[in-house]
Amino acid sequence: MKSYPTENIRNVVLVGHGGAGKTSLAEAFLYLSGATTRLGKVADGNTVCDFEEEEIRKGISISTALAPIEWNDHKINVLDAPGYADFSSEMRAAMRVADLAIFVVSGVEGLEVQTQVAWNYAEELELPRMVFVNKLDRENSSFRSTLEQMRETFGKAVAPLSLPLGRETDFHGVISVIDVAAFDYSDKTAAEVPVPPERQARADEVRTDLLDSVAESDDDLLERYLEGGDISREEIVRAIHEGVDAAQMFPVVVGSATSLIGVDRLLDVIVAVAPSPLERPPAQGEGDEVREPKPDAPMSALVFKTMTDPYVGRVSFFRVYSGALKGDAPLHNASRKVEERVGHVFTMRGKTQEQVPEIVAGDIGAVAKLAQTVTGDTLADRSSPIVYPGIESPEPLLPKAISPKTKGDEDKLMIGLHKIMEEDPALKLERSDETHQTILWGMGDAHLDVVMDKLKRKFSVEVTEVPFKVAYRSTLSGKADVLGRHVKQSGGHGQYGICNLRVEPLERGSGFVFEDKIFGGAIPNQWIPSVEKGVRAAMDSGAGTGFSMIDLKVELYDGKFHPVDSSDMAFQLAGSQAMKEAVEKAGVTLLEPVWALEVMVPDDFTGEIMGDLQKRRGIPEGIDTLGGSQQIVKAKVPFAEVAHYATDLRSMTGGKGTFSWSFSHYQEVPHNVAQKVLEAAHAEA
């Protein structure tokens, strides 16, 4: 692939709901542009963009693929992003480095959930958008109803640039609204034909709407248009281009990716109306610093994706925002303030690498074997560093407790997980000291299943999912006056430590309070911290309950020591024994973690969600109304009841609901629930 100047580069990301045909569209781009000699098909597992074994087996995109093509003396970097909610972090990262989002919408299913999610994120980024209505050659497809849905949801700025010729299985071409011409694909290539008489009125109506929008964007055009003057094709295209760049107009193109109908027209539209990197706002670093996309400016680039290649190791994908990133040159990681050595730089087409001498401002490329650079890092000239905001991944919401099937594979499991997490920042790994479980957090079941598959395929580690344990806590049910005694004096150096404690529970969230009330030297000052240390150790281990203890006040008021046999360890053990006696005397109250949930759903689901949260022992705390008929239901719910809420909410709302949560507090577990938890803990012990 030859080198292109920045003004001839287009960076587009294909987004939309899973199954809408994004990967099929990327394959059509590759085929029509001559980048491939065959049209890859998802069903056959032979696409350029879905090359991971898990993608081929499941028939879905799991990670973003880069597929650069050449069209009309322009380079178009096509980013094919996953459409399923579990892999939304990949979509978000790709949108960060694109200059145009092409929303692929199925003409059969119409506007779907993840399309709306991606549109909302594009609005946050102020990213230019356009739409490709796909699958119009399928039964039950309807461009008119799909367009109505989009206009109702996204507004009248959604503007058709083409209309379908024929319906469903008779779909055989497109009508260009700008050119008032039809293109018939019956012989696989576009042949210009007259607009059928029965479609002329609709084409004129849509063109009038387009001209109205175009004229309103420019005072001179509006004046001429109102006076009955003509607006030239070049003026129409320029006005659309400006509207797209300002994210104030969202063109719609129709077609079928698998039948190659209208795909060439879409590529023409991308070249004509999509903004080049030069037309986008300059890249904003932390603070007020910005970088213009000029080739002679200091080099700066953002790493937006990391992939582990079995042959070359870690591959870092980046977009250059200024200057040029050249091969075989030292490089500065401005985010981590470390130096990296760059070998070859290349562009990627799926998993295929093509070495190039440099990646210029506005272009997207990749480099292998950066030792310390991860997704979200900024690469820059050391003499003129800048740090761009990192790639924010959504918070993982589904935990799974895992262990290796084979004993002794713990190290292999950790190595494999950390390498996969380098590729996928949406994963989170934690080791619970309380439940002694290794917990992997992900975006959903499909996300975590893919991780398990990768661990087996790439790192030869088979993983077992084990029942997830909630980290319960405990406290005393009442007050107790207890004696802690650790005395051993049968020959040799003895051990002697005796302490008297008053122990009582505190209000939730109060923590631990230790008070020294010793008078008269009953215990020398040097051993008092030892008692506290023993008390804390007993609380952490649960003092025989199996659940660490919280919210207690412990008062040390008396004790005894021996001038020879007393020691730090003796008083630690005495303090620990006293706490075990306190548990026996005062009894134990089991506490459970409670989380604050904010569930965002369309108002049609509000009642169902409220009822479901109450069934989960949740306490509703109100409903806030958002724009677009969205509601936020707020509630405090025991974590044991919502540990798998990510899966449950998706099922209840058909994927239309989302939620966020945070830890709130611990509360007493109801007696019937506590009995089951304690019985299970004793059975396991």
Residue 625 scores a pLDDT above 90: no
Weakest-pLDDT range from 158-167, 426-435, 573-582: 426-435
CATH of the domain at 337: 2.40.30.10
- Residues 37, 185: one domain? yes
- Nearest 5°: phi and psi at 488? -140, 115
- Residues 65, 122: one domain? yes
- Residues 79, 121: one domain? yes
**Residue 393 resides in a domain:** no
Question: Could you tell me if 531 and 571 are in contact, meaning their C-beta atoms sit under 8 angstroms apart?
Answer: yes
Q: Within 10 A of 591 (CB to CB), how many other CB atoms are there?
A: 22
**Residue 390 resides in a domain:** no
Compute the distance between CA of residue 336 and CA of residue 320 in angstroms, rounded to an integer.
18
**Residue 150 resides in a domain:** yes
Handedness of CA 615, 617, 621, 626 (dihedral sign): negative
Mean pLDDT of 134-145: 96
Q: Position 356: which residue type?
A: V
Residue 312 scores a pLDDT above 80: no
User: What's the DSSP call for residue 195?
Assistant: P
Give residue 434's pLDDT: 84
- Residues 536, 524: one domain? yes
CATH of the domain at 575: 3.30.230.10
| DSSP states along 509-527 | T--EEEEE---TTSS-GGG
Compute the distance between CA of residue 254 and CA of residue 105 in angstroms, rounded to an integer.
10
Contacts of 284 (CB under 8 A, 6+ apart): 290, 388, 389
Tokens 């990646």 correspond to what residue? Answer: 359
Tokens 């993982």 correspond to what residue? Answer: 396
Domain of residue 580: give its range.
474-586
Comparing CA positions, the residue from 350, 334, 351, 333 lying closest to residue 342 is: 333
- Residues 554, 568: one domain? yes
Give residue 618's pLDDT: 96
Compute the distance between CA of residue 527 and CA of residue 671 in angstroms, rounded to an integer.
39
- Residues 136, 271: one domain? yes
Question: Could you tell me if 473 and 548 are in contact, meaning their C-beta atoms sit under 8 angstroms apart?
Answer: yes
Helix axes 233-245, 263-273, angle to 10 degrees: 80
DSSP SS3 for 348: strand
- Residues 516, 478: one domain? yes
Distances (CA, A) of 288 to 291, 387, 388, 505: 10, 11, 11, 52
Element (H, E) at 198: helix 197-216
Weakest-pLDDT range from 95-99, 308-312, 338-342, 484-488: 308-312
Question: Could you tell me if 575 and 532 are in contact, meaning their C-beta atoms sit under 8 angstroms apart?
Answer: yes
Compute the distance between CA of residue 340 and CA of residue 599 in angstroms, rounded to an integer.
43
Residue 18 scores a pLDDT above 80: yes
Residue 407: pLDDT band (50, 70, 90) is confident
Q: pTM surpassing 0.85?
A: yes
DSSP SS3 for 81: coil
- Nearest 5°: phi and psi at 295? -65, -25
Compute the distance between CA of residue 593 and CA of residue 590 in angstroms, rounded to an integer.
10
Token pair for 557: 């008021």
**Residue 391 resides in a domain:** no
Query: For the CA atoms of 97, 100, 105, 107, what is the dihedral angle to 10 degrees?
Result: -160
Contacts of 551 (CB under 8 A, 6+ apart): 475, 505, 506, 507, 508, 509, 510, 511, 512, 666
Give residue 91's pLDDT: 96
Residue after which a domain boundary falls, among 353, 380, 407: 380
Residue 489 scores a pLDDT above 80: no
- Residues 161, 127: one domain? yes
> 3-state secondary structure string, 469-481?
CCCCEEEECCCEE
Mean pLDDT of 483-501: 89
Give residue 543's pLDDT: 84
Compute the distance between CA of residue 412 and CA of residue 439 in angstroms, rounded to an integer.
16
**Residue 617 resides in a domain:** yes
Residue 330: pLDDT band (50, 70, 90) is confident
Give the distance, in angstroms, between the CA of residue 673 and the centroid of all CA atoms in the same chain: 34
Is residue 174 exposed (0-12), middle (13-18) or buried (19+ Cβ within 10 Å)? Answer: buried
User: What's the DSSP call for residue 604?
Assistant: G
Question: Could you tell me if 288 and 81 are in contact, meaning their C-beta atoms sit under 8 angstroms apart?
Answer: no
Token pair for 166: 């024929």
**Residue 1 resides in a domain:** no
Mean pLDDT of 358-380: 94
**Residue 385 resides in a domain:** no
- Residues 154, 258: one domain? yes
- Residues 28, 152: one domain? yes
- Residues 56, 95: one domain? yes
CATH of the domain at 448: 3.30.70.870
Distances (CA, A) of 221 to 160, 228, 243: 20, 11, 14
Q: Position 255: which residue type?
A: G
Comparing CA positions, the residue from 250, 239, 238 lying closest to residue 215 is: 239
Compute the distance between CA of residue 173 and CA of residue 186 in angstroms, rounded to an integer.
7
Give residue 669's pLDDT: 94
Residue 37 scores a pLDDT above 90: yes
Q: How many helices (H) and strands (E) does the chain have?
A: 17, 36
- Residues 537, 650: one domain? no
Comparing CA positions, the residue from 399, 669, 401 lying closest to residue 545 is: 669
Compute the distance between CA of residue 625 and CA of residue 338 in angstroms, rounded to an integer.
47
Element (H, E) at 326: strand 324-326
CATH of the domain at 597: 3.30.70.240
Q: Within 10 A of 64 (CB to CB), how many other CB atoms are there?
A: 25
Q: Position 53: which residue type?
A: E
Residue 11 scores a pLDDT above 90: yes
Residue 99 scores a pLDDT above 90: yes
| pLDDT digits 0-9 by tens, 582-592 | 999 999 999 99
User: What's the DSSP call for residue 494?
Assistant: -
Question: Could you tell me if 102 and 132 are in contact, meaning their C-beta atoms sit under 8 angstroms apart?
Answer: yes
CATH of the domain at 177: 3.40.50.300
Compute the distance between CA of residue 73 and CA of residue 500 in angstroms, rounded to an integer.
87
Token pair for 398: 């589904």
Q: Where are the alpha helices (DSSP H) in 98-162?
A: 113-125, 143-154
User: What's the DSSP call for residue 336?
Assistant: T
Residue 685 scores a pLDDT above 60: no
Residue 452: pLDDT band (50, 70, 90) is very high
DSSP SS3 for 52: coil
Residue after which a domain boundary falls, among 255, 279, 303: 279
Compute the distance between CA of residue 153 and CA of residue 450 in angstroms, rounded to an integer.
33
Q: How high is the mean pLDDT of the chain?
A: 92
Distances (CA, A) of 186 to 164, 169, 230: 13, 12, 33
Distances (CA, A) of 487 to 499, 588, 626, 647: 11, 27, 67, 55
Number of domains in the chain: 5
**Residue 124 resides in a domain:** yes
Give residue 343's pLDDT: 86
Residue after which a domain boundary falls, among 466, 492, 511: 466
Question: Could you tell me if 165 and 179 are in contact, meaning their C-beta atoms sit under 8 angstroms apart?
Answer: no
